[in-house]
Structure 1
Amino acid sequence: MRSLMFSLLLALAGISTASADPRSFHAGTTRVTVEDTTPFDALITYPTEADEATVEEGLFSLSASRDAPVAAGARFPVVLFSHGGGGQRPGTPLAQRDLLLHLARQGFIVIAPFHPGSERPFVDRPRHIHKALDSVLADPRFSRRADPDRIAMAGFSFGGAVSLIAAGASVDLAHLSAYCRDHPDDTRACGGIVTDGSWAKVPPSAKSDDVLPLKALVLLEPYGAPFERKGLGSLDLPILIYAALQSDLRPEGNALALAKALPRPPQQVAVPGGHFVFVDPCSPTLAARAPEVCSDPPGADRAAIHQRSRRQIADFLRANL
């Protein structure tokens, strides 16, 4: 763990944390329904000139302008976002709403599907991302404001794996099974994974049919165990990886393993806290309902981590789009 902390914190020197937060725009928000085998909604956040107000989304409150016009002017870069939770655990992009709204205020159009539950998440979730992008680019509200030549993607946890697949990575179930056989302590990565040898001859997947022309990736506590070096070989693009130092998604088999296997060395940042430190600070209601998600170990200031990482991510995307 000390070597992990050193390598990641050393890389932090290359990430700007002192830049001003220009907040050039207000944040707009809307939803679109995307047609698929199981139709799903996507949350869109975007720059607008309209004043923000409190918008209620179930248990979550957002400061945004609902359904306001997109700000006029030049086309805005697009950021796709894939939330955490895999398989039948659907999750929600609202868990990272503060990041999505911050990016909108910085001049990005963000497209964040609500992934429905799936028995084939490695296949279905990249398709959700692709279809949501196509839907927004065809929407008259966004078609003249979104720049289809400047697209990046970000993802949390399983959404990190989806981001890698959308960029061209191949999933290797034999590699995942062998990893989980050797590291049964990585329960978050290996829950439900077959380790009896029956996956040993499963070949790596072909590239997804939903690979996108992404210019950059941001991976927050990514699920990296399903990937090995050969399957990542085509990902020659800027990547920013965040890892939590007390995570139960074992960094040596996930975030750090990705950093070592990628063909282009990524920028890396380590923060104190567990896996869910990248979920937005919780309201008292949420904290009572999901204490595991909402609590942090001593020394982890979630609000400060988010404030710093939002600026770092916006700077990284601005530099690469």
Structure 2
Amino acid sequence: MKLLIKLATLLCGIISPVLMAHNSASASEFVGVRQISAPSKERGSDLAVTVWYPADPGGKPVTLGESVFFVGTDAMLEAPISRGKYPLILLSHGAGLGGTPQAMSWIATPLAKQGFIVVAPTHPGNAGANRSAAETMKLWLRPADITATLDAIEKDAPFKDSLEAGKVGALGLSAGGNTVLALVGARIDPIRLASYCDTDALNPSLCGWVRQSGVDLHAMDMKLAGRNNEDRRIQFAMAIDPAPVDVFQTNTFSEVSIPVEIVNLGRPGKIPRTALASGIAKAIPEGKYSTIEDASHYSMFGVCKPGAAEIADSEKIGDRICSDGGGHPRLEIHKQLVNMVTEAFDRALKTEH
């Protein structure tokens, strides 16, 4: 458990309502959640996919993302989807403790409440009982999971009839941010990825796990690592504390053709090198960069339960999973992030009237 939590700490990773109109989305009082499957030829199996959506009353109350450490988020299982057309946000989660769609419910649920359909596949091997250091390091497979999910949601009733045509965005947190950057056209450098764990300078927790698992990145088959994973259906992308960002071919960022917003969590000089993305934002023609200085990489986790920090200490985790680096509570940081993300996707995807 200690190793899983340590890995997770480095990988995971005023809203204005929009009035209902033809071909547009509106804020909803209720959020529904459903599970669907996305066939994946590359994985050789179906992906488990979680969908959050604006809902009418009904369904069964559920709490998603709750653990011994973190408070969960409420939604209504199998609630009827509200009538209307909604933009789609493809959500990519991190690895380790943040390695499930449910762990991202704190941001997915309010986005659905504000008139988006949010859909997130489970990236195989990145967390849980089947976690694998080798699979986690196959970063080039994650974008294909998102593309397969988009293929599935566009065909899945009732969601296919509730999607606003051509309004697709992507949001990634931590390792999911790496995924989103690949989806918009950035390409991984196989040589950089192979040498990522040659020392502990970039990511000691992750690389310690990789070595303990007997994984030699130099021996890993990376013939597909440098491929182009761009999905041109995506119109806008946002990455929050993307990691690792230092495994890309830097020249490919200048070829990104859509707007991309990147948010780093922490003060300048305190942001881990493997997540620092200010230079990447500058290299993207329509890139935008901002920081939340009172936050940390841990701020992407759920709100900590009372006593969670003490439990982490008793496990000798060594990472302050309940610390946010400043004087603001995590709940306030989450509200700030939700506002930033909602406003960004509103600008990019909501139909103007």
Instruction: Name the TM tier (shorter chain).
Output: 0.7 to 0.9
Once the two structures are superposed, residues 19-66 of structure 1 have per-residue CA deviations (whole angstroms, 9 ceiling, x without a partner) of 546782021111112333243311100111226874134736432221
Letter of the 2:63 counterpart:
E
Contact 1:181 1:195 in 2 (8 A): no
Corresponding residue pairs, total: 299
Which residue number corresponds to residue 302 of structure 1? 330
Alpha carbons of 1:123 and 1:185: their partners in 2 closer, same or farther (altered >3 Å)?
closer
CA RMSD of aligned residues (A): 3.5
Change (3 A) 1:33 1:290: farther
TM-score by length of 1: 0.79
Which secondary structure does the structure 2 equivalent of 1:320 belong to? helix
Indicate the structure whose relative CO is greater, using CA pairs within 8 Å and at least 6 residues apart.
2
Shift of 1:113: 0.9
User: Separation in 2 of the partners of 1:154 and 1:34?
Assistant: 18
Which of 181, 184, 191 in structure 1 is aligned with 2:201? 184
- Deviations along 1:1-29, whole A, 9 cap, x unmatched? xxxxxxxxxxxxxxxxx454678202111
Q: Does 1:227 align with 2:248?
A: yes
Q: Quick one: structure 1 residues 59 and 270, their matched pair in 2 at CA, closer, same or farther if it must change by over 3 Å?
A: closer
Higher mean Cα deviation, 106-115 or 234-243?
Answer: 234-243
Query: CA–CA distance in 1 between the matches of 2:98 and 2:104?
Result: 14
Whether 2:81 is the aligned partner of 1:59: answer no
Q: Which residue of 2 aligns with 1:70?
A: 81
Moved more, 297-306 or 42-51: 297-306
User: Quick check: 1:32–1:41 contact (8 Å CA) kept in 2?
Assistant: yes
Residues in 2 aligned to 1:289 and 1:142: alpha-carbon distance in whole angstroms:
41
Question: Which position in structure 2 is the counterpart of 1:24?
Answer: 27
The unaligned stretches of length 5 or more in structure 1 are 1-17
Letter in 1 for 2:170: M
SS at match of 1:259: helix
1:307 aligned partner, one-letter code: K
Given that residues 38 and 148 in structure 2 are in contact (C-alpha distance below 8 angstroms), is that contact kept between their aligned partners in structure 1?
A: yes
Separation in 2 of the partners of 1:234 and 1:211? Answer: 14
Instruction: Decide whether the 8 Å contact of 1:189 with 1:225 is kept in 2.
Output: no
Indicate if the aligned counterparts of 1:215 and 1:238 stay in contact, CA closer than 8 A: yes
With normalisation by structure 2, the TM-score equals: 0.72
SS in 1 for 2:339: helix
5 Å-filtered alignment, 1:1-321, equals: 18-20=14-16, 24-25=27-28, 26-36=30-40, 37-50=44-57, 54-57=61-64, 59=66, 61-73=72-84, 75-85=85-95, 91-117=99-125, 119-120=134-135, 121-176=138-193, 184=201, 186-187=203-204, 192=210, 205-208=226-229, 211-223=231-243, 224-245=245-266, 250-251=272-273, 254-284=276-306, 292-321=320-349
Q: Which amino acid aligns with 2:266?
A: L
SS at match of 2:83: coil
